[in-house]
A and B are shown apart, each in its own frame.
Chain A
């Protein structure tokens, strides 16, 4: 069966520090991969999605970037975090377009 792992679960970082959140999927190949951010009490906002290695689309101009160094690995990064980057970040995968997305457990990011 397929599983998705996302870490760390919780992260506290100072303003201006770098960020690296990692997501990996097991049990499938060539998944579509997604990064979302959820502000407190709000819905999910799509940040990036990838349909293959080196094929990454950005939905919202921002301080973040994404990379997909391997087929089943998706990384969310920042060189310098801002206070506004605080939130709950979720990684997800789907097998093909229009199939349900399956989510990781999320990372709660707090910027001090």
Chain B
């Protein structure tokens, strides 16, 4: 079975500062992908960033980057220069065996 664990139910950060959201996972698949999705109050699920497990290089997408530690099965998201629009629920997700499994989410608050 595949599992995803987000140990931080809530996080807060000052505007313009940097914040890191944690995620650990477990899978027996050798070929899998990892994602971070953002869900703002509108509840739309928006893809933030994607990481192929076979790639050692950490994915980056503008102010968003990941720290992918395959041996430790860790996949954290770093948000630099936090903006008010970054406030949302953030979900870590693992896709393997044609199934996408989500963590429980981290609610991120941005303090102006």
Asked if residues A49 and B98 are in contact (CB atoms below 8 Å), the reply is yes
Tell me how many residues of B have a C-beta within 8 Å of chain A. Answer: 22
Q: How large is the interface on A (under 10, 10 to 19, 20 to 34, 35 or more residues)?
A: 20 to 34
B68 to chain A, nearest CB (A): 15
- Given the known interface contacts A51-B98, A97-B98, the answer about A43 and B103 at a Cβ–Cβ threshold of 8 Å is yes
Asked if residues B50 and A100 are in contact (CB atoms below 8 Å), the reply is yes
Contact residues in A for B101 (Cβ distance below 8 Å): 46
Interface residues as binary, B33-50 with A (CB distance below 8 Å gives 1, 0 otherwise):
101000000111111001
Residue of A nearest to B31 (CB): A98
Asked if residues A43 and B98 are in contact (CB atoms below 8 Å), the reply is no
Q: Tell me whether B11 is interfacial, beta carbon within 8 Å.
A: no
Q: Tell me whether A13 is interfacial, beta carbon within 8 Å.
A: no
Asked if residues B45 and A92 are in contact (CB atoms below 8 Å), the reply is yes
Asked if residues A101 and B44 are in contact (CB atoms below 8 Å), the reply is no
Residues of chain A whose beta carbon lies under 8 Å from any beta carbon of chain B:
32, 34, 41-46, 49, 51, 59, 88, 90, 92, 97-98, 100-103, 105-106, 108
Leading 9 A-B pairs by shortest Cβ distance: A103-B45, A43-B102, A44-B102, A43-B104, A98-B33, A100-B47, A97-B98, A106-B43, A43-B105
